Structure 1
């Protein structure tokens, strides 16, 4: 179902705001401090990034966005960077290394098939906007962790391993009890185990983030409504179940074609949605299967 259009930023904790946008159902975060503001993820084009800035200004003309954080490399979280020309863009080092190639790939896909997809909330005009957007790479990258000092509060950025992509980071606002997890968590659908995901490592990565964060009151997914820790833990367990079943099949020597079609009641998501995850696990496990 297509989410409702954004009504701008809504405060979910002390000076932490969220805006949910219909195109690709993306959550964008805004953290205010004495020395400026941080935007978490920037949407899918320069036009959409400017819409975020307009929504920030509606909260207060004196708010200065000095920093942007990309939770991971995907276009719907990074292409809006170009709109934040006076801000420093922060991301994991793999985002800087792969954004251009990933960006060109999604642009080509949308050139080939620009028709809007209702289930993702975007139109053909939105697709053209993605294709036309110049990429802006991160200005500041890190391997394991980094911080942004806003004067009266600190925003943390932490890498704990691979999951949805090779470079997912958690963004924490400890004094407000808020944890942004990007697409390591999704509320409006099950997690996207795509062609650049790491299903066998994803659950451990989430466990590390949740353990380090303690008990945040608000967990922000990349798509959908904010959730609590219990929701994040349930989804972590679901991803772990997918990994366990697929690992078992691979190590037992099941043929790839059978793994793609053989049902298993332990799988929490429809098997037809897990085809890419099956291929990823078959590729990631080093031991070749004699059945192939």
Structure 2
């Protein structure tokens, strides 16, 4: 598959990439454009910015759906602009540096020296505009909504709603063609967040990876996310074993085990019961007190 545009609404596009089967976004209004995520490296970001200039010459702003490297390491190619995100810049810089080191090492271990070079050379651009709650962003003749999600795929997910076109850019809250990643997720809260985001029934839902889908596709995946949450709960209650949950998870065994492992990581272990004192090891026999009542019942009344 080569990189390509899909028009998903009036002046709204999804950019499908071969790398990681990723899907980026673009919303164009009368005065400004909004770029949704920027790709894996500065070089990939430059290719994306060049493709955007085939569609519009308007100035742009950038929105990060969350802090995973493939969604924002390409921003250096976009120059000076407003960059919107839920987490603050300090978090992005610290976490981004950790991810870059890990992925450069992984690429070199896999013999992908050129990919390692591209990532190592990418300048990280942290967000400079913070989203808390929801913000209506006026792009000139069109308002988009940047909405903080809460705990879901990560602790800093953000979606972009384009109400007048009926389009929702969901980031990695939803994926098409591959199971969702639970590595840093919140398995119990995730489906509740998606159900809320779908409550306005968008006509088109653009995932962070894979082809765009419709509202009913998104609802089906929300139900699968809820099933993962339910299975995690039943493992916690002892109703199911981990093997049983993995066998019947909606996204396959590996994804279900990843969700269970993440749930365990987030759930503190139950405290050990306090040891009983030696004197209480054998409780004394109960003392039984009998009370005798002397009464008569007058049956003539």
- One fold, TM greater than 0.5? yes
Unpaired segments ≥5 residues, structure 2: 273-301
Which stretch of the first structure deviates more once superposed, 49-58 or 265-274?
265-274
Name the larger-Rg structure: 2
1:52 and 2:48 equivalent? yes
Between the aligned partners of 1:129 and 1:288, the Cα distance in structure 2 is 46
Distance 1:86 1:216, change over 3 A: same
Distance 1:227 1:127, change over 3 A: farther
Contact 1:66 1:86 in 2 (8 A): no
Query: Which of residues 132, 140, 144 is equivalent to 1:151?
Result: 140
> CA offset at residue 265 of structure 1?
5.2
Q: Which residue of structure 2 aligns with residue 142 of structure 1?
A: 131
Distance 1:263 1:201, change over 3 A: closer
1:96 and 2:92 equivalent? no
User: Which segments of structure 1 move beyond 6 Å, counting only runs of 4 or more?
Assistant: none
Distance 1:95 1:123, change over 3 A: farther
Distance 1:40 1:116, change over 3 A: farther
Between the aligned partners of 2:225 and 2:156, the Cα distance in structure 1 is 18
> CA offset at residue 178 of structure 1?
0.6
Between the aligned partners of 1:66 and 1:138, the Cα distance in structure 2 is 14
Q: Which residue of structure 2 aligns with residue 23 of structure 1?
A: 19
Which stretch of the first structure deviates more once superposed, 281-290 or 162-171?
281-290
Between the aligned partners of 1:42 and 1:264, the Cα distance in structure 2 is 34
> CA offset at residue 23 of structure 1?
1.2
Alignment TM-score, normalising by the size of structure 2? 0.84
Between the aligned partners of 1:253 and 1:287, the Cα distance in structure 2 is 18
> CA offset at residue 246 of structure 1?
1.1
1:272 and 2:254 equivalent? yes
Query: Which of residues 34, 37, 62 is equivalent to 2:30?
Result: 34
Contact 2:246 2:256 in 1 (8 A): no
Q: Which residue of structure 2 aligns with residue 183 of structure 1?
A: 172
Query: Which of residues 55, 60, 63 is equivalent to 1:69?
Result: 63
Contact 1:90 1:141 in 2 (8 A): yes
Contact 1:247 1:281 in 2 (8 A): no
Distance 1:265 1:215, change over 3 A: same
> CA offset at residue 116 of structure 1?
9.1
Q: Which residue of structure 2 aligns with residue 225 of structure 1?
A: 211
Q: Which residue of structure 2 aligns with residue 6 of structure 1?
A: 3
Give 3-state SS (helix, strand or coil) of 1:79's partner.
coil
Q: 1:219-263 CA deviation, whole Å, 9 max, x = no partner?
A: 000000000111111111111111111122123398xxx62x445
Q: 1:74-117 CA deviation, whole Å, 9 max, x = no partner?
A: 1000111211113210011x253422232122222223221598
Contact 1:6 1:22 in 2 (8 A): yes
> CA offset at residue 274 of structure 1?
3.0
Between the aligned partners of 2:28 and 2:202, the Cα distance in structure 1 is 18
Which stretch of the first structure deviates more once superposed, 166-175 or 104-113?
104-113
Contact 1:40 1:68 in 2 (8 A): yes
Between the aligned partners of 2:208 and 2:34, the Cα distance in structure 1 is 16
Alignment TM-score, normalising by the size of structure 1? 0.86
Distance 1:264 1:112, change over 3 A: closer
Distance 1:124 1:207, change over 3 A: farther
Equivalences, count: 272
Give 3-state SS (helix, strand or coil) of 1:107's partner.
helix
Q: Which residue of structure 2 aligns with residue 210 of structure 1?
A: 198
